[in-house]
Structure 1
Amino acid sequence: MTTPLLEVQDLTIAFPTPGGGSAEVVSELGFALPPGGSLGIVGESGSGKSMTSLAVMGLLPKGARLAGRIRLAGEDIAGLPDRRMRAIRGDRIAMVFQDPLSSLNPYYAVGFQIEEAYRAHRPRATRREARRVAVEAMERVHIPDAARRAGHYPHQFSGGMRQRVMIAIALSTEPDLLIADEPTTALDVTVQAQILALLREIRRDTGTGLVLITHDLAVVSEMVDDVVVMRAGRCVEHAPVARLFSDPQHAYTRALLDAVPRLDDEVGELRTVRAAAPDTPREGER
């Protein structure tokens, strides 16, 4: 039996409360991701999605209490010493955050930031080698004229291009697992599609495992093999993506699917209206 790339068992995350008690934000969560697989974690704001990803990365806020197991290729990484976790984070596991502008340092060129991320895990690499890796990473994420643009600063890039830079940083060390936390937030629809297509391309070409954190079921339907639906810190449903959409078992999952806008009925209604009123002037003709 193949060892999962990522296995989470009975993960519970709690924070102390002023009265001396504790509040659980994730409760007894479990899932497994095979090597090269893809998993979507879906839920509304506050459901525990991002806390789960931070726990896997070893980046939980100060004061958080963690119980359960998090295994990476069979190694339990929950509660590892900071030094050991820093060696894993950014090398074997990389993360793309939802706001690239706040993740990138405005005082340094993007190429330099990719170089520094690479050299943090490849200390014997020369500056020339790190620059080559940085340019190649930018080319991999389809940033035009990468060698020149490596010298540009974050404010000189659009939102979509900044997110591509963040993905380039994540890919520079060729990680086994990529966690993308709402990677298309605040991007327009066209750019969202480009970023998602890029993530699919990366999975296909590199075999990197993907955990996609999102609230958007339409994104999940096109991007992942399996889905975990979270509500109030708990997994309410875990299923292959095709089965989740065709036969949801939990009432909350059905409510999420019912909330997704559908165009098929609206298109049919629009055609009926146009057929009944063929002389209605179209947009731009009034």
Structure 2
Amino acid sequence: MTLLEVRDLTVTFPTPRGPLDAVRSLDLDLEPGGALGIVGESGSGKSMTSLAIMGLLPRAARRTGSVRLTGQDLATLSEAELRRVRGDRVAMVFQDPLSSLNPYYTVGLQIEEAYRAHRPGTTRRVARRVAVEALERVHIRDAARRVHHYPHQFSGGMRQRVMIAMALCTEPELLIADEPTTALDVTVQAQILDLLQEIRRETGTGLVLITHDLAVVSEVTEHLVVMKDGRCVERGTVEQVFTDPRHPYTRALLAAVPRIDDEIGELRAVRATDPTTDPTTDGARA
């Protein structure tokens, strides 16, 4: 059975100039344990897609189409039923862990409360054990001590690990990661990506990774959807899209990625300084 099946998803906002489609007629599929990358520039609709899947759209937004999790259409659920799905069967990791974590509570308490919200009747002692185990799973050393620390006592990479631990404490079927490495330096980014890969292998959790960084999706996902102006303009395996991009926008995105086999950027430097060169056309041909 397909884990996630999105059909004809459209998200519309009212504006003074009339309705605006932030996402238009989008289809997605993800098998259990699979990894799907959604890539595009800011405003392409990729983050709005994740909010639509989670049922977290602003009140002004209107969603049509279907979002099915193991065959169950989430659009038909009441708000109470949807809350039970969120954080339990589907979890999300946002790009800014500092704003997602409450600075007034220890990270351990926040993981405990997230777990107890979906496991009614769980004692605080059991929830504390789950919190420690969750931190250990994401390789935070001395987890039994660090559960008592506050978010500001962790680095940016460690806070992101805490958010991943919180998302995984209920053992969800689907994890949505929205730009999880954007605010991190390159070394820490690699560690977080390795962690997501390890979690997939060990738990079988399906992953939807949303990013503007093609290098990130090439490391973590098997299938890729490229979005522009709310629409999917290209889809396929990562290998297919990277080696034989069909859409000019995809080719332009790939052309913008620095390559180790460039001649020390000489050709790009010439193009950048030559006023007769049309970079848009050149990028589309690359």
Distance between the aligned counterparts of 2:122 and 2:197, measured in 1? Answer: 29
What's the C-alpha RMSD, in Å, of the aligned pairs? Answer: 1.2
The reply on whether 1:10 has 2:11 as its aligned counterpart is no
Change (3 A) 1:64 1:268: closer
**Is 1:76 aligned to residue 87 of structure 2?**
no
Q: 1:266 to 1:59 in 2, by over 3 A?
A: same
Alignment coverage as a number of residue pairs: 266
**CA distance in structure 2 between the partners assigned to 1:243 and 1:185 by the alignment:** 25
Cα offset for 1:265? 2.7
Task: Determine the structure 2 residue equivalent to 1:85.
Answer: 82
Q: C-alpha distance in 2, partners of 1:221/1:161?
A: 23
1:135-192 CA distance string (max 9 Å, x none): 0000000001000000000000000000000000000000000000000011011000
Tell me the CA shift for residue 18 of structure 1: 2.5
Alignment partner for residue 229 of structure 1, among 205, 211, 226? 226
Match of 1:121 among 118, 122, 125: 118
Give me the whole-angstrom Cα distance separating, in 2, the residues matched to 1:96 and 1:118. 15
Residue 200 (1) aligns with residue 197 (2): yes
In 2, distance between residues paired with 1:79 and 1:149? Answer: 41
1:215 equivalent in alignment to 2:212 = yes
Q: Distance in 2 between matches of 1:212 and 1:266?
A: 32
Amino acid at match of 1:257: L
SS at match of 1:67: strand
- Looking at CA atoms only, which structure, 1 or 2, has the larger radius of gyration? 1
Is it true that 1:133 corresponds to 2:130 in the alignment?
Answer: yes
Alignment partner of 2:32 out of 27, 31, 35? 35
The residue aligned with 1:147 is 144
Aligned equivalents of 1:61, 1:164: Cα separation in 2: 27
Q: Give the AA of the match of 1:114.
A: I
Q: CA deviation at 1:80?
A: 2.3
1:263 aligns with 2:260: yes
Cα pair 1:56 1:78 within 8 Å, conserved: no
Q: CA deviation at 1:62?
A: 1.5
Instruction: Look up the match of 1:160.
Output: 157
Aligned sequence identity (%): 74
Give the Cα separation in 2 of the matches to 1:75 and 1:40. 22
1:54 and 2:23 matched: no
Letter in 1 for 2:240: R
Write the deviation string for residues 7-65 of structure 1: whole angstroms up to 9, x where unpaired. 0000000011125x311100000011011111000000000000000011110011100
SS where residue 56 of structure 2 aligns?
Answer: coil
| Gap regions ≥5 residues in structure 2 | 267-286
Residues of 1 paired with 2:183 and 2:53: CA distance?
25
CA distance in 2, matches of 1:268, 1:259: 12
Q: List gaps (5 residues or longer) in structure 1.
A: 270-286
Instruction: State the alpha-carbon separation in 1 of the partners of residues 172 and 143 from structure 2.
Output: 21
Partner of 2:176: 179
Structure 1 segments of 4 or more deviating over 6 A?
Answer: none
Name the structure 1 match of 2:284: none
Q: What's the secondary structure of 1:10's corresponding residue?
A: strand
Question: 1:79 Cα deviation (Å)?
Answer: 4.8
| Whole-angstrom CA distance in 1 between matches of 2:91 and 2:263 | 41
Separation in structure 2 between the aligned mates of residue 256 and residue 267 of structure 1, nearest angstrom: 19
Contact 1:10–1:67 (CA<8 Å) still a contact in 2? Answer: yes
* Alignment deviations for residues 77-119 of structure 1 (CA, whole Å, 9 cap, x no partner): 0252110100000000000000000000000000000000000
Aligned to 1:107: 104
State TM-score, norm by structure 2.
0.91
Contact 1:15 1:64 in 2 (8 A): yes
- Once residues 220 and 14 of structure 1 are traced to their aligned partners in structure 2, the CA distance between those partners, rounded to angstroms, is 27
Paired AA for residue 165 in structure 2? A
Matched letter for residue 106 of structure 2: A
Judging changes above 3 Å, is the alpha-carbon distance between structure 1 residues 264 and 84 closer, same or farther for their aligned structure 2 residues?
same
